[in-house]
């Protein structure tokens, strides 16, 4: 009976559940329980490892070069590498009286004959991370929203030559029962929708014998067959269109209809978007508030990656901003300015409503005062809709963030030499700016000016980058012991991890003049620029995803805004905890990288 | 002086041994191991109650050798009281395939050899075993006995000299921060007792 209890415990530890029942029987006969008092040195470069340890109680810290590398607690196991490779750079020291299962070296190596077990222990970070994540979603709901365009039904595309007559093209369309006609032209495709037919044929002065190309619209929006369905949804929501053309390389393979897509998604994100578009006044928008949160909860439960959830929310928020902009600003003034969002909203990484960080850029020569009243109103509406006030007052209601282009340029110039905390903070916010309404070229111009101003200014960049090191990565918090000692049972996800990553990547993006604002996109670009290699880039993206997803969990569960960034690692499931711990290790690696890249140890 | 008396008793006991095949119980132990054991019984009176199961595990150095656990269920004549079923969870049904008491006891003696015995309220478990060895072999268990609650008491009393020391199993377990394996059965209890022993004797001061 008791053997069975131990068996359950071992089986609950990944990857041991992969063992066959008979292999498990064999293993159970080889496991002993050992006790090691505090401060015992278990493994070190000089003391080679003799067993594989699975912790029942207590904790062990792993040091590499006298720096904490990892902390193991109940349910954790170590150290496969030391056993497989026969040596290790690390020191494993008991830091709270340890009771653990021991599998002798020979027995452990025998276990490795099992391909899946071997696979698990020999994998590098990324694959292991993915496997753990898969394991995690398996146990919840299947992530069907991660399905690709190729997984869904596509309509046959009706493709005609540009010199075909409208009549023959329509016959062809009828035959294929397509909703649209795609016209092949010398350099690409154009499209004929029902709207085109109505406006240009029925109401226009064209007749059926004319060339089809004469009534085609140039704009054709396409998506790759291997892209996620989610992106197709984003595309439709963003462009307010009902279908996208699916391509494989430069070949058109079909048309994806919104109706099919929507039936694929149980959630109603598109409905929310349509309702925003149709809203006549602020009260209509207010009524939508509740749908937002439930949308996030549904999507998350379905296993959608947080970075897609945040993108969708960003798209919807954009729509709200746009609507409000139209409500507040006279048509004649609309292209005299650019409304921008910054911070997490600019990076498209906000989940639940985050502080509003917004600003207005006004064309040179236009009277700034004309915008005072409309912007006050816009700000008021945002507050009414529940977008919290920005604590740093980075809002269009503040004169500082409502000025003309040349005044912004002056501000940017001050940033290049003024190293005050305030300036660094403002600049960081501005770096993430995204244009949402009005004349977007105003922002592009400022961004370019900003990049030029910081060209070859590595000294200032290093100063900005230094903030990455300001908070310690909370790896040590994983042992229950330390938590107790510090009388604090929660760790700060934002300070401890997300901030370092986001800020570091932002600074690198400034250095390499990368226009993207989204952290994941920036990482990809940095990889393209050769600043970081592919493996590291993927590690960073996975870590960022893990941290954001755990943070989202914390936010959804938090009772008030102060709690939203905190999580008690012990409240997480073992797999989540491992993922979190791995992510923090990557953050540490990233900090070292930043330290080296900007020579931060020389910056005072 | 005390060791003389102990030796004298041991020799007197040895003379009563009816079966020379069990001489090994009296030889000096060379394995360096200890055996922690626990019994589940029909009740708390060694004179009338019977053993339902015996669980044991060896200790060597700082390890509980769970790879070598011992567990046996014994047949018995007496009906199992319903109060005791609630504690050990052994129903008459579970003893369907149990061994005869003779087989079970012999296997147990072979498992322990002359190793020192460790237990919690060991005296009770030993007298339960003796109830069978006496008629069978003419002897009582000659092994050296180590009582964990005694070690615990000695360690704790030095910290709180006039204190009233709670010697309940669960309290000791908690104070030694040993995980409670939940189910009470002979082997689990033996393993938990073994962990208490290691904790009390190997812990750094």
In this predicted structure, the answer to whether residue A375 has a pLDDT above a threshold of 70 is yes
A-chain residue closest to B176, CA distance: A97
B140 alpha carbon, distance to own chain's centre: 14
* Confidence category of residue A441, pLDDT binned at 50, 70, 90: very high
H helices of chain B, where?
2-15, 82-88, 101-112, 122-137, 148-157, 169-175, 186-202
Beta-carbon contacts of residue B33 (< 8 Å; ≥ 6 apart): B58, B59, B60, B65, B115
How far apart are the C-alpha atoms of A346 and A404, rounded to whole Å?
Answer: 20
Chain A residues whose CB is inside 8 A of the B38 CB are none
pLDDT recorded at residue A307: 72
**How confident is the model over B120-138, as pLDDT tens digits?**
999 999 999 999 999 999 9
CB A194: neighbour CB atoms within 10 A? Answer: 10
Question: Using CB atoms, which residue from A1, A33, A39 is nearest to B183?
Answer: A1
Chain A residues whose CB is inside 8 A of the B95 CB are none
How far apart are the C-alpha atoms of B25 and B14, rounded to whole Å?
Answer: 9
How far apart are the C-alpha atoms of A406 and A404, rounded to whole Å?
Answer: 6
Question: Using CB atoms, which residue from B63, B187, B203 is nearest to A34?
Answer: B63
**How confident is the model over A97-117, as pLDDT tens digits?**
888 889 888 888 888 777 777
The domain spans of chain A are 2-122, 149-264, 269-413+428-440, 462-602
pLDDT recorded at residue A521: 92
pLDDT recorded at residue A351: 67
**Contact state of B62 with A34 under an 8 Å Cβ cutoff:** yes
**How confident is the model over A539-549, as pLDDT tens digits?**
999 899 888 88
B191 close to A (CB below 8 A): yes
* Confidence category of residue B144, pLDDT binned at 50, 70, 90: very high
Pick the CATH number of A462-602 from 1.10.287, 1.10.1740, 1.10.10, 1.20.120: 1.20.120
**Contact state of B183 with A39 under an 8 Å Cβ cutoff:** no
User: Domain A149-264, what architecture?
Assistant: Roll (3.10)
**Contact state of B187 with A29 under an 8 Å Cβ cutoff:** no
Question: Using CB atoms, which residue from B178, B181, B203 is nearest to A2?
Answer: B181
A188 alpha carbon, distance to own chain's centre: 33
Chain A residues whose CB is inside 8 A of the B63 CB are 32-35, 102
* Confidence category of residue A316, pLDDT binned at 50, 70, 90: confident
Dihedral over alpha carbons A240, A246, A252, A257 (to 10 degrees): -60
B185 close to A (CB below 8 A): yes
Chain B residues whose CB is inside 8 A of the A97 CB are 177, 199, 203
Question: Using CB atoms, which residue from A5, A29, A97 is nearest to B203?
Answer: A97
Chain B residues whose CB is inside 8 A of the A1 CB are 71, 183, 185, 187-188
pLDDT, average across residues A202-226:
83
B177 close to A (CB below 8 A): yes
pLDDT recorded at residue A134: 59
In this predicted structure, the answer to whether residue B196 has a pLDDT above a threshold of 80 is yes
**How confident is the model over A476-531, as pLDDT tens digits?**
656 543 443 444 567 778 877 889 999 999 999 999 999 899 999 999 999 999 99
**Contact state of B181 with A5 under an 8 Å Cβ cutoff:** yes
Q: What is the mean pLDDT of chain A?
A: 81
The owner of tokens 């670009």 is: A525
- The tokens of A298 are what? 């549904």
The owner of tokens 């908070």 is: A471
**How confident is the model over A554-575, as pLDDT tens digits?**
777 766 666 667 777 777 777 7
**Contact state of A57 with B63 under an 8 Å Cβ cutoff:** no
Pick the CATH number of A269-413+428-440 from 3.60.20.10, 3.30.460.10, 3.90.600.10, 3.30.1060.10: 3.30.460.10
DSSP secondary structure string for all residues of B61-91? TTEEEEEEEEEEEB--SSPPPHHHHHHH---
How far apart are the C-alpha atoms of A290 and A338, rounded to whole Å?
Answer: 29
Nearest to A334 by CA among A366, A377, A381: A366
B133 close to A (CB below 8 A): no
Tell me how many residue pairs between chain A and chain B have CB atoms under 8 A apart: 66
Q: Is B10 helix (H, G, I), strand (E, B) or coil?
A: helix
The mean-pLDDT minimum among A396-400, A467-471, A533-537, B69-73 falls in A467-471
What are the backbone dihedrals phi and psi of residue A256, each rounded to the nearest 5 degrees, phi first?
-100, 120
Chain B residues whose CB is inside 8 A of the A51 CB are none
pLDDT recorded at residue A581: 84
B205 close to A (CB below 8 A): no
In this predicted structure, the answer to whether residue A415 has a pLDDT above a threshold of 60 is yes
Whether A91 and A43 have beta carbons less than 8 Å apart is answered as yes
Q: Which fold has domain A2-122?
A: Jelly Rolls (2.60.120)
- The tokens of A555 are what? 């936010």
The residues in B 70-129 lying below 8 A from A, measured between CB atoms, are 71
pLDDT recorded at residue A270: 57
Question: Using CB atoms, which residue from B66, B177, B204 is nearest to A57?
Answer: B177
B-chain residue closest to A38, CA distance: B204
**Contact state of A5 with B202 under an 8 Å Cβ cutoff:** no
B-chain residue closest to A8, CA distance: B181
Domains of chain B (ranges, CATH numbers): 2-202 (3.30.420.10)
**Contact state of B204 with A56 under an 8 Å Cβ cutoff:** no
The residues in B 39-58 lying below 8 A from A, measured between CB atoms, are 55
Q: How far is B71 from chain A (nearest CA, A)?
A: 9
The more confidently predicted of residues B24 and A208 is B24
- The tokens of A306 are what? 């947080």
**Highest mean pLDDT out of A218-222, A529-533, B97-101:** A529-533
Contacts 24+ apart (CB under 8 A), A178-182: A178/A255, A179/A155, A179/A242, A179/A243, A179/A255, A179/A257, A180/A243, A180/A255, A181/A212, A181/A216, A182/A157, A182/A158, A182/A220, A182/A245, A182/A252
């Amino acid at each position: 009976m008791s053997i069975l209890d131990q068996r359950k415990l071992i089986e609950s530890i990944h990857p041991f559940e992969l063992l066959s029942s008979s292999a498990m029987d064999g293993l159970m006969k080889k496991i002993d329980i050992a006790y090691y008092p505090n401060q015992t040195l278990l493994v070190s470069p000089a003391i080679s490892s003799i067993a594989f340890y699975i912790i029942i109680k207590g904790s062990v810290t792993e040091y590499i070069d006298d720096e904490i590398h990892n902390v193991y607690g109940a349910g954790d196991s170590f150290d496969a590498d030391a056993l497989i490779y026969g040596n290790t750079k690390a020191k494993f020291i008991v830091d709270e009286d340890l009771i653990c299962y021991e599998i002798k070296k020979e027995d452990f190596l025998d276990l490795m004959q099992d391909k899946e077990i071997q696979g698990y222990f020999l994998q590098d970070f990324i694959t292991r991370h993915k496997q753990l994540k898969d394991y995690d979603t398996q146990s919840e709901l299947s992530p069907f929203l991660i399905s690709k365009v190729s997984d869904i039904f596509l309509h046959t595309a009706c493709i005609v030559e540009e010199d075909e007559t409208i009549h023959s093209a329509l016959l062809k369309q009828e035959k294929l029962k397509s909703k649209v006609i795609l016209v092949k032209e010398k350099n690409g495709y154009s499209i004929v929708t029902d709207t085109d037919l109505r406006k240009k044929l029925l109401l226009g002065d064209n007749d059926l014998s004319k060339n089809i190309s004469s009534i085609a619209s140039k704009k054709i929006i396409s998506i790759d067959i291997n892209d996620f369905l989610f992106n197709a949804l984003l595309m439709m929501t963003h462009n307010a269109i009902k279908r996208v053309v699916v391509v494989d390389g430069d070949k058109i393979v079909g048309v994806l209809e919104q109706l099919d897509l929507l039936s694929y998604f149980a959630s109603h994100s598109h409905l929310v978007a349509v309702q925003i578009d149709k809203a006549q006044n602020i009260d209509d928008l207010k009524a939508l508030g509740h749908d937002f949160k439930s949308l996030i909860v549904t999507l998350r439960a379905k296993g959608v990656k947080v970075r897609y959830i945040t993108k969708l929310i960003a798209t919807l928020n954009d729509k709200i901003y746009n609507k409000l902009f139209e409500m507040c600003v006279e048509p004649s003034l609309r292209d005299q300015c650019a409304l921008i969002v910054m911070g997490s909203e600019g990076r498209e990484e906000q989940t639940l409503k985050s502080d509003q960080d917004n600003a207005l850029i006004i064309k040179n020569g236009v009277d700034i005062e004309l915008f005072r009243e409309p912007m006050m109103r816009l700000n008021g509406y945002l507050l009414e809709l529940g977008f919290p006030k920005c604590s740093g007052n980075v809002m269009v209601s503040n004169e500082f963030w409502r000025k003309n282009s040349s005044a912004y340029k002056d501000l940017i110039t001050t940033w290049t030499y003024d190293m005050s905390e305030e300036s660094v903070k403002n600049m960081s916010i501005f770096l993430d700016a995204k244009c949402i309404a009005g004349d977007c070229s105003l922002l592009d111009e400022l961004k370019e000016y900003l990049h030029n101003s910081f060209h070859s200014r590595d000294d200032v960049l290093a100063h900005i980058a230094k903030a990455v090191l300001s908070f310690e990565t909370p790896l040590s918090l994983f042992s229950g012991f330390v938590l107790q000692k510090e009388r604090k049972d929660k760790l700060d996800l934002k300070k401890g991890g997300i901030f370092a990553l986001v800020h570091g990547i932002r600074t690198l993006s400034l250095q390499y003049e990368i226009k993207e604002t989204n952290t994941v996109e920036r990482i990809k670009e940095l990889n393209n620029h050769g600043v970081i290699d592919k493996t590291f880039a993927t590690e960073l993206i996975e870590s960022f995803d893990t941290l954001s997803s755990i943070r989202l969990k914390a936010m959804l569960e938090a009772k008030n805004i102060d709690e939203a960034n905190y999580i008690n690692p012990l409240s997480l499931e073992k797999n989540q905890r491992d993922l979190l711990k791995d992510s923090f290790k990557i953050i540490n690696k990233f900090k070292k990288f930043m330290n080296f890249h900007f020579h931060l140890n020389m910056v005072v | 002086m005390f060791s003389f008396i102990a030796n004298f008793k041991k020799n007197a006991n040895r003379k009563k041994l009816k079966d020379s095949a069990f001489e090994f119980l009296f030889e000096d132990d060379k394995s360096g191991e200890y055996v922690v054991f626990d019994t589940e019984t029909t009740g708390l009176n060694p004179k009338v109650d019977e053993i339902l199961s015996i669980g044991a595990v060896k200790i060597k150095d700082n390890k509980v050798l769970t790879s070598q656990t011992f567990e046996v269920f014994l047949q018995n004549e007496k009906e199992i009281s319903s109060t005791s079923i609630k504690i050990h969870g052994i129903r008459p049904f579970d003893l369907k395939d149990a061994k005869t008491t003779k087989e079970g006891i012999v296997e147990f003696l072979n498992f322990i050899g002359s190793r020192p015995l460790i237990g919690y309220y060991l005296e009770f478990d030993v007298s339960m075993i003796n109830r069978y060895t006496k008629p069978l072999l003419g002897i009582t268990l000659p092994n050296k006995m180590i009582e964990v609650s005694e070690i615990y008491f000695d360690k704790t009393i030095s910290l709180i000299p006039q204190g009233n020391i709670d010697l309940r199993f669960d309290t000791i377990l908690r104070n030694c921060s040993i995980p409670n394996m939940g189910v009470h059965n002979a082997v689990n209890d033996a393993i938990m007792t073994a962990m208490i022993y290691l904790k009390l004797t190997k812990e750094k001061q």
